Amino acid sequence: MKHRSVHAARVGGSVHISRRRFVTGAAAGLGLAVTGARAAAGTTPADVARGSKLNLAIGYREVNFTGKPRLATVVNGGLPGPVLRWREGDEAVLTVRNDLAVDSSIHWHGLILPPGMDGVPGISFDGIRPGESFTYRFPIHQSGTYWYHSHSGFQEQTGLYGAIVIDPRESEPFSCDREHVVLLSDWSDEKPERILANLRKEGHYYNANPRTLADLGSELRGNGVGATWSARAMWNRMRMNDRDIADVTGMTYTFLVNGHTPDTNWTGMFKPGERVRLRFVNAAAMTLFDVRIPGLKMTVVAADGQYIEPVTVDEFRMGTAETYDVIVEPKEGAYTLFAQAIDRSGYARGTLAEAPGLRAAVPVMDPPPVLTHLDMGMQHTGMDHAMTDHAAMNHSQHAAHSPKGPAPAGFGSKAAIIHSPDEFGYNTDMRAEMPQRRLDDPGLGLRDNGRRVLTYADLRSLRRTQDERDPEREIQLHLTGNMQRYLWSMNGLPFADAEPLRMRLGERLRITLVNDTMMNHPIHLHGMWSELETDDPDHIPRKHTVIVQPGAQLSYLVTPEIAGDWAYHCHLLYHMMGMFRRVEVRGGAA
């Protein structure tokens, strides 16, 4: 698919420091020439950096994924960067040198560590200046599959990411004969600043599946004039599009497996009869992937690095920043690793093969999904713009409590949905009327597709819940936005205008997220686990990133165990600068 013609656009305004320091470098671009850089289709993550003491260099490199050379941001010359392999119980000491022309950073996604080592400029440290180095030093208290990426500007979009594998001290509860890291990502030849400028001019700029006259004709024939007219009028009144599934799509993205395009086809080897562990990492900036391997069942054994009771599925959805470990048992020949973008505008593809050069058929992508009333959080066909009595609105942190206090741990919030006055303004163009807990819903585009699809309701920790206390209080946060103006926020307020969320050291807290938009939002809380409430209080799964579906709500429990300041945000890169909060963990009262 060809890109539409675009004119040069400039992201205006100066780069602010202090509370917005985490976007340092966003307007700097990547316009440097690289002396002696060689063109490449990408680099494979064959390099594995082992050991507790490592040196990493952040720099520029020319890559070529589409036939046009472009400048990428890389770690140790690779896109993705090297797989970092550690052992639980060791201390990691990483000296990171910044050879860029702008500030940089590395965040160790999903690792529980001291705040000064978390790597978020403006929240936990000052960033790494050009030409300077910073030494990260932290104990490794966990095992599993994680990843690392820049938290500065748009460097994550331009290639600064890689996988982390931490081997456990004790034997694992399953066996495998070999393993492969499968890192998914999205690449654009456009500069990130241009992508954001295009979205701010038109929120649907990269919509790869716009509504057509043919669609209208089909709806008229299937639903009749009255129903079709009513549905179209509703969407037009709301200035919304039921085909708006992803902000940035295959119109500009090339989707990668371990730095390989579908054409260059990354291949992982196996011997017939082996049990192969695949460590999937979604390192994309903006893409949710639906992953399957036609002809193979996948047994999911870990989610976000944590063991779960094994679940055998045909397919699973990966939000940006999520990781899943699966076991497969290929018999012979070759199998296609197939990861469709959620809007079906493209796919990442690799191969499992018993011999070099073998390939399997690439399946046809599923039809592009269409948003429904369920995805809008609507009980019926109307939109309730009043939503709630303004006199009852809560002006605090949405500390929503049921009349008898928070519900028992593990079963989710029973508190009423509360909307702040800030949600009725410039930054919002929608609110969910009847958001539901939909943990057993595989999600838009995966419902009733004839395949067994993993859901959050399937996740059950293999280990017993460590903190069995009921929550002492609840915080309700609404994920809000204005798609037309491409503005994103929490509770109607962007990060720059919001007060921090305050937590007490050691308290047991429930956070309820309500998605008032029609987009999936993968939400990442730094510095502590998000313990997803799936109605089994004894085996609550721990995650570091949780997808909140359009028009839905979910709850998780947290126990802040490390004092300091932490980042809390949507992991869609172009949403992050607005849909972001600082979390302050202190001793004493919150």
Range list of H helices, 71-159: none
pLDDT at 1 over 50: no
Identify the CA nearest to 430 among candidates 389, 474, 476, 489: 489
Answer whether 160's CB lies under 8 Å from 183's CB: no
User: What is the percent of the chain with per-residue pLDDT over 70, rounded to a whole number?
Assistant: 82
Please write the tens of the pLDDT for every residue from 168-189.
999 999 999 999 999 999 999 9
Identify the CA nearest to 453 among candidates 261, 255, 569, 314: 314
Residue 168 CB-density burial (10 A; 0-12 exposed, 13-18 middle, 19+ buried): middle
Please write the tens of the pLDDT for every residue from 76-93.
999 999 999 999 999 999
pLDDT of 438 reads: 94
Mean pLDDT of the chain: 86
User: Residue 384: how many CB atoms within 10 A of its CB?
Assistant: 13
Q: Which two tokens stand for residue 376?
A: 């809008």
pLDDT at 581 over 80: yes
Answer whether 504's CB lies under 8 Å from 559's CB: no
Q: What CA–CA distance (Å, rounded) separates 273 from 275?
A: 7
- Enter the DSSP assignment of 22: G
Answer whether 278's CB lies under 8 Å from 260's CB: no
pLDDT of 424 reads: 82
- For residue 503, CA distances in Å to 19, 81, 495 come to 19, 35, 18
pLDDT of 28 reads: 34
Q: What CA–CA distance (Å, rounded) separates 152 from 140?
A: 24
Lowest mean per-residue pLDDT among 226-230, 361-365, 471-475, 517-521:
226-230
pLDDT at 29 over 50: no
Q: With bands split at pLDDT 50, 70 and 90, how would you rate the model's confidence at 203? A: confident
Lowest mean per-residue pLDDT among 86-95, 229-238, 330-339, 545-554:
229-238
Residue 467 CB-density burial (10 A; 0-12 exposed, 13-18 middle, 19+ buried): middle
Q: Which residues contact 404 (CB under 8 A, 6 or more apart)?
A: none
Q: Which residues contact 275 (CB under 8 A, 6 or more apart)?
A: 175, 176, 177, 327, 328, 329
Q: What CA–CA distance (Å, rounded) separates 71 from 101?
A: 13
Please write the tens of the pLDDT for every residue from 548-564.
999 999 999 999 999 99
Please write the tens of the pLDDT for every residue from 414-425.
999 988 888 888
Identify the CA nearest to 510 among candidates 555, 570, 467, 562: 555
Answer whether 71's CB lies under 8 Å from 30's CB: yes
Residue 587's Cα: distance from chain center in Å?
A: 30
What is the separation, in whole angstroms, between the first and last Cα of the chain? Answer: 52
Q: Which residues contact 13 (CB under 8 A, 6 or more apart)?
A: 27
Q: What CA–CA distance (Å, rounded) separates 342 from 316?
A: 11
Q: What CA–CA distance (Å, rounded) separates 534 from 265?
A: 37
Strands (E), 189-245: none
Answer whether 329's CB lies under 8 Å from 310's CB: no
Please write the tens of the pLDDT for every residue from 277-317.
999 999 999 999 999 999 999 999 999 999 999 999 999 99
Q: Which two tokens stand for residue 100?
A: 């860029």
Mean pLDDT, rounded, for 40-69? 83
Mean pLDDT, rounded, for 562-581? 97
Q: What CA–CA distance (Å, rounded) separates 370 from 412?
A: 28
Mean pLDDT, rounded, for 468-472? 97
pLDDT of 528 reads: 98
